[in-house]
């Protein structure tokens, strides 16, 4: 009998913690907003406000939102990267300091590089023509295009890792 009571208590605690985290994430932390394409959702976190403001002033504001550049263009990939990034961002906000100047890296850099190349294919082809044997990254020269220089922290520069050229 004691085993059944312990199992019921454990199950109740597990369900309670799961429901509590779900309610916290989707109600208090506005997690539901990340399921949309609304760029304002990205500014829910204060560290993203400068990037959002920079995007509002950029030429891309009229033609591309956050998801157009920062998520894959298929539904499964889009929500998979949103979930992975959401988890890692939540974890970082919970356990450690977040840098003021966020640096894109890894898979996110490759997704953004692919978006540049997709939308600007004719231009990329013209540039890569004479440089076909070299790895050229759009982001290495144009890292601030979507967010404008206004989104940079004073005294810092936008930088990206070199993983896109590997």
pLDDT for 95-153, tens place per residue? 877 776 677 888 899 999 999 999 999 988 888 876 666 677 888 888 778 886 544 44
d(CA 108, CA 13): 36
φ, ψ of residue 36 in degrees (nearest 5): -100, 180
Record the tokens describing residue 3, joined without a space. Answer: 């085993």
- pTM (two decimals): 0.71
Q: What does the longest C-alpha to C-alpha distance in the chain come to?
A: 77
DSSP letter at 143 equals: T
**pLDDT tens-digit series, residues 7-65:** 999 999 999 999 988 887 777 777 778 888 898 888 887 778 888 888 898 888 899 99
- Which residues, 6 or more positions from 78, have their beta carbon under 8 angstroms from its beta carbon? 67, 71, 72
Q: Are 9 and 60 in contact (CB under 8 A)?
A: no
pLDDT, tens digit (0-9, with 9 covering 90-100), for 62-77 = 999 999 999 999 999 9
Cα 111 to Cα 157: distance, rounded to the nearest angstrom = 21
The conformation of residue 109, written as its DSSP 8-state character, comes to: H
């Amino acid at each position: 009998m004691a085993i059944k009571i312990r199992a019921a208590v454990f199950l109740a605690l597990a369900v309670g913690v799961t429901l509590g985290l779900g309610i916290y994430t989707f109600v208090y932390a506005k997690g539901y907003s990340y399921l949309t394409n609304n760029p304002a959702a990205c500014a829910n976190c204060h560290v993203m406000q400068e990037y959002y403001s920079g995007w509002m002033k950029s030429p891309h504001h009229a033609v591309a939102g956050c998801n157009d550049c920062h998520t894959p263009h298929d539904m499964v990939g889009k929500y998979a990267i949103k979930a992975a990034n959401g988890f890692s961002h939540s974890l970082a906000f919970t356990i450690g300091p977040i840098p003021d100047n966020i640096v894109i890296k890894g898979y996110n850099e490759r997704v953004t590089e692919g978006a540049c190349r997709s939308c600007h294919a004719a231009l990329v082809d013209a540039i890569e023509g004479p440089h076909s044997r070299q790895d050229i990254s759009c982001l290495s020269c144009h890292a601030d295009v979507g967010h404008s220089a206004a989104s940079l922290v004073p005294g810092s520069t936008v930088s990206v890792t070199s993983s896109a050229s590997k």
